[in-house]
Structure 1
Amino acid sequence: MKTVLVFITLMVAVQSTKLVPKTMADVKDQCSLNFTFGNDIYMFHKCPLDYYAAVEICKCEKVKSNLLSIHSHEFHEKVIEKLKHSNITSYEVWIGATKGRFSFTYYWTDGSQMDFQYWARGAPSHSWYSPACVVMETKEPGYWHDVDCNIRRPFVCKTEQQKSHSR
């Protein structure tokens, strides 16, 4: 019986190491899918990470890269459409909205104005004394929910293209 338990434990450990990327290169190779809108590049990461790790992965992508911020209903619908066609199996993805402890105010991690919100009924629901991070449903209509930042979800990074200056 003890041998069987050891074998099962080893199998679970081996399988779990295959599912979680170990390095930045592994994250890019195994987990990402790129798409573009206008001048910006978006990278959908299928491998789930907690919110804080997702923020760091996005910042490592490029100099001007952050978790996705959404500023219009039209853009929100385009993102949902892209996610729908990417064969995503997760129900939610991290986006770049969060709030700190002792606050009711949500903000975008890229520093842009939070001029569009698409909360589900009853959301946001986290109390003022606990931090919360925002996930977006991947199926229409794509409502937002505030959740514990330590849960693991796929995520979307946005990289702004450098504008070329012609003379």
Structure 2
Amino acid sequence: MPSRLLLALALLGSAGACRLAAPEAPEPGSWAGTAEVAPVAEVTPVAEVTLEEDVECPRDEETARLSLPEAPGAGTNRYVVVRRCRSFHRAEDVCRRCYRGHLASIHSHSVNVRLRRVARSRTNRGQVWIGAITSPLCRSVFCQWIDRTLWNYAHWLRGYPTPAGTFCTSLCTANGRWRSVHCGVRLPFVCKY
């Protein structure tokens, strides 16, 4: 599957990429490292994951809900932090089937901070899934949101994203930084709908 994704991206010829070098921590609200973003008319789906018929929706006591404005003048987005651990793709299935959304895409520092706080207070884990997937692209890393929104903000921990293959992304509940994690790891997660 990853090789088909890379081939499709190479054939399209237009993709946002984020460079690996990020020697210093970015200013709040800025991108981690430098980023190159090309206008993208249509983004190739990150993964062709089919919805599982046996998705069990979380009970209310397993979740924390909040609404946040994405940016001044933009609409309000709703989020739900789910405590039950799932693999990345299974978590995406839950977000799609139970909330008619996706794993959360994050487009501002203020939203990143609020989601980190809620995830830290409502989960007993150090990381939660968010909706980013990274893949190697030439000598850099291609970053994209699973909901196909524009890649216009990042908050990577130093040394990330990992260039060694396709990885999913977690938000650290201690410092709000993002890490590359194998997609099969089971973590709590944040849905955006």
> Are the equivalent residues in 2 in contact too, given 1:126–1:147 (CA < 8 A)?
no
SS class of match (1:106): strand
Deviation at 1:47, TM superposition (A): 0.7
Q: TM-score, normalised by structure 2?
A: 0.62
- Which amino acid counterpart does residue 67 of structure 1 have in structure 2? L
Q: Measure how far apart 1:125 and its partner are.
A: 1.7
How do 1:1-167 and structure 2 match up within 5 A?
Answer: 24-25=56-57, 27-29=58-60, 31-38=62-69, 39-63=76-100, 65-86=101-122, 88-100=123-135, 103=137, 104-127=141-164, 130-139=165-174, 141-159=175-193
Structure with a larger share of its residues in helix: 1
**For 1:80 and 1:23, how far apart are their aligned partners in 2?**
26
Q: Name the CA shift for 1:80/1:62 in 2 (closer, same or farther; >3 Å).
A: closer
Deviation of 1:150 (Å): 0.5
Is contact 2:64–2:118 with CA below 8 Å preserved after alignment? no
Distance 2:150 2:61 in 1: 33
Tell me by how many angstroms 1:73 deviates: 1.0
After the TM superposition, which segments of 4 or more aligned residues of structure 1 sit over 3 Å from their partners? none
Q: Which digits, 9 at most, give the CA deviation of each residue in 1:30-56, with x for residues without a partner?
A: 522222224322111101000010011
Residue ranges of structure 2 left out of the alignment (5+ in a row): 1-53, 70-75
Instruction: Tell me, yes or no, if the aligned pair for 1:126 and 1:146 is still in contact at 8 Å.
Output: no
Rounded to whole Å, the distance in 1 between the matches of 2:120 and 2:88 is 22
Instruction: Please name the residue that 1:12 is paired with.
Output: none
What is the aligned-residue RMSD (CA, Å)? 1.8
Larger Rg: 1
Distance in 2 between residues matched to 1:94 and 1:85, nearest whole Å:
15
Q: What residue ranges of structure 1 are gaps of 5+ in the alignment? A: 1-21, 160-167
The residue type paired with residue 192 of structure 2 is: K
The 1-side partners of 2:114 and 2:88 are apart by 23
CA distance in 1: counterparts of 2:148 and 2:105, whole angstroms? 9
What is the alpha-carbon distance in structure 2 between the residues aligned to residue 96 and residue 66 of structure 1?
Answer: 7
Instruction: Between 117-126 and 51-60, report the one with greater CA deviation.
Output: 117-126
TM-score by length of 1: 0.71
Aligned length: 131
1:84 shift after superposition: 3.4
What is the one-letter code of the residue matched to 2:143? Y
